[in-house]
Amino acid sequence: MIYLDHGATTPCDPSVRDAMLPFFTDKFENPSSIYSASGSVKNIVMDVRETAAALIGASREEIFFTSGGTEADNWALMGAADMYRREHAEGGHIITGSIEHPAILNTCAYLEKMGFDVTYLPVDRDGYVSVSDLESSIRPDTCLVSIMLANNEVGTIEPIKELAKTAHDKNVLFHTDAVQAFAQIPINVEELGIDMLSASAHKFYGPKGIGLFYVKKGISMGSFIHGGAQERGRRAGTENVPGIVGLGAAMKLASENMEKYASHEAELRDHMIERILNEIPGTHLNGPEKNRLPGNVSISFDGLESESLVIGLDFRGIMASAGSACSAGSAEPSHVLTAMGRSNAEAKSTVRFSIGRGNTIDEIDEAVDAVKAIAENMRKR
Ligand SMILES: Cc1ncc(COP(=O)(O)O)c(C=O)c1O
């Protein structure tokens, strides 16, 4: 089997799993208890907070553990909306991008029903949000700008520093969904000017169901889940300790090897793109050539249905996706590709291969040979 769908999820690294295991059994105590055994569990949770903070140039009081990227995205948007409403007693204005993940877009749709106005910024053919579009969209009642750090379908890395500065110049908070980029490319919240950030462990060889939300000190985000005093009273519920430990181990592994993993993936990515574009007629790369996630290869195949390509690949033991995991099975063309100016037919002829740190050049060659043969067969029919 050749797994080329790391944008959907990654396998838990064996060292991450091993780090987690004792926290299901021997070290099962509740970190909030006061006996000494739970003290060591509490310390581990604190260490992971420290690791996360160090990875993005934050401090540990700015890190909150969540159930994943979706929860962190919900917290950012709902929290900013709540802050605005507390002050103004009415809905304000939120700006986001048109190629965001459903975790952002559907939360925005909910907030629209709750009386907020949302502007969805367009993108260019490569998926970039324009700084001047953002600047001209900010209004006196804008309470949040939320733009993803890197796109999950086409890999485009957005100009976050410029976008955040534009928001700050008008005193507006800036959130980024960094789920696809976190622990894979360097991120420094101070340097980039990020006020809030979402991340998720299962995208970088950690377990599913655990993520984090970074909130810059001084921002008075309210509680998101109400209940006990966990996460300094802002996200109640007994901590997912094994998950948090797994997140910590995955962050350490990723940050110690970031350069190595990213350059390996980028080398395979560029090789795959070059071979597909040169050897398979009627193929086009989506997203920019260089400024893209190290493992992302998004290709449109003229006149071919991506679902059939993906099924053909599956028969040969190769796993890739038509669009993203979140839109799989949907009859609708990808909102990302149509926002990038592709026709519905082009959008429905797109396959995303997402390469991981464990893939080899031989696997990439085998996948390219397979997709080439499948495309030829489909075109003969
Ligand atoms: C850009 C982006 N944001 C948010 C999410 C949701 O993260 P999670 O699966 O941890 O809820 C994903 C997952 O695919 C994603 O790619």
Q: Is the CB of 68 under 6 A from ligand 1?
A: yes
* pLDDT of amino acid 327: 53
* Burial of 102 from C-beta contacts in 10 A (0-12 / 13-18 / 19+): middle
Catalytic residue among 12, 108, 143, 326: 326
In which residue are the tokens 């409403």 written?
85
pLDDT confidence of 324, banded at 50, 70, 90?
low
Q: Which tokens belong to 327? A: 């839109």
Question: Is 325's pLDDT higher than 90?
Answer: no
pLDDT confidence of 360, banded at 50, 70, 90?
very high
Residue 119 pairs with which residues in a beta bridge? 95
278 CA to centre of ligand 1 in angstroms: 32
How many whole angstroms from its chain centre is CA 196?
A: 14
Residue 177 pairs with which residues in a beta bridge? 198
* pLDDT of amino acid 332: 86
Q: Is the CB of 249 under 6 A from ligand 1?
A: no
Q: Which tokens belong to 162? A: 């410029």
pLDDT tens digits, 236-249: 999 999 999 999 99
pLDDT confidence of 381, banded at 50, 70, 90?
confident
pLDDT tens digits, 59-78: 999 999 999 999 999 999 99
DSSP 8-state symbol, 185: S
Non-local (6+) Cβ contacts of 267 within 8 A are 361
Distances in Å between the Cα of 192 and the Cα atoms of 74, 102, 161, 175, 186 are 22, 24, 4, 11, 11
* Catalytic residue status for 143: no
* Burial of 139 from C-beta contacts in 10 A (0-12 / 13-18 / 19+): middle
Question: Is 206's pLDDT higher than 60?
Answer: yes
* Burial of 9 from C-beta contacts in 10 A (0-12 / 13-18 / 19+): middle
Question: Is 328's pLDDT higher than 60?
Answer: no
Question: Nearest CA to 4 among 298, 277, 261, 281?
Answer: 298
| Of 32-46, 149-163, 270-284, the least confident | 32-46
Question: Nearest CA to 146 among 202, 106, 115?
Answer: 106
Q: Which tokens belong to 16? A: 């991450």
Whether the CA torsion 86, 215, 50, 176 is positive or negative: it is positive
Rounded to two decimals, what is the model's pTM?
0.97
Reported in sequence order, the residue ranges of the chain that DSSP labels E, i.e. its strands, are 2-3, 63-66, 93-97, 117-121, 142-146, 173-177, 196-200, 211-215, 283-285, 296-301, 318-319, 350-354
Structural domains present in the chain: 2-9+258-380 (3.90.1150.10), 14-253 (3.40.640.10)
Q: Which of 70, 196, 197 to mutate to test the pocket of ligand 1 (most atoms within 8 A of CB)?
A: 70
Q: Is the CB of 242 under 6 A from ligand 1?
A: no
CA 110 – CA 104 distance, rounded (Å): 10
* pLDDT of amino acid 102: 98
DSSP letters spanning 99-165: T--HHHHHHHHHHHHTT-EEEEE-B-TT-PBPHHHHHHH--TTEEEEE--SB-TTT-BBP-HHHHHH
* pLDDT of amino acid 202: 98
Q: Is the CB of 336 under 6 A from ligand 1?
A: no
CA 339 – CA 121 distance, rounded (Å): 10
Q: Is 3 helix (H, G, I), strand (E, B) or coil?
A: strand
Q: Which of 200, 205, 213, 247 to mutate to test the pocket of ligand 1 (most atoms within 8 A of CB)?
A: 200
**What is the mean predicted confidence (pLDDT) over 339-366?**
97
Q: Is the CB of 101 under 6 A from ligand 1?
A: yes
**What is the mean predicted confidence (pLDDT) over 290-304?**
97
CA 294 – CA 180 distance, rounded (Å): 10
Q: Is the CB of 321 under 6 A from ligand 1?
A: no
Q: Whose CA is nearest to atom 4 of ligand 1?
A: 69
Q: Whose CA is nearest to atom 16 of ligand 1?
A: 152
Q: Contact 123/288 with Cβ under 8 angstroms? A: no
38 CA to centre of ligand 1 in angstroms: 31
Question: Is 278's pLDDT higher than 60?
Answer: yes
Q: Is 194 helix (H, G, I), strand (E, B) or coil?
A: coil
104 CA to centre of ligand 1 in angstroms: 9
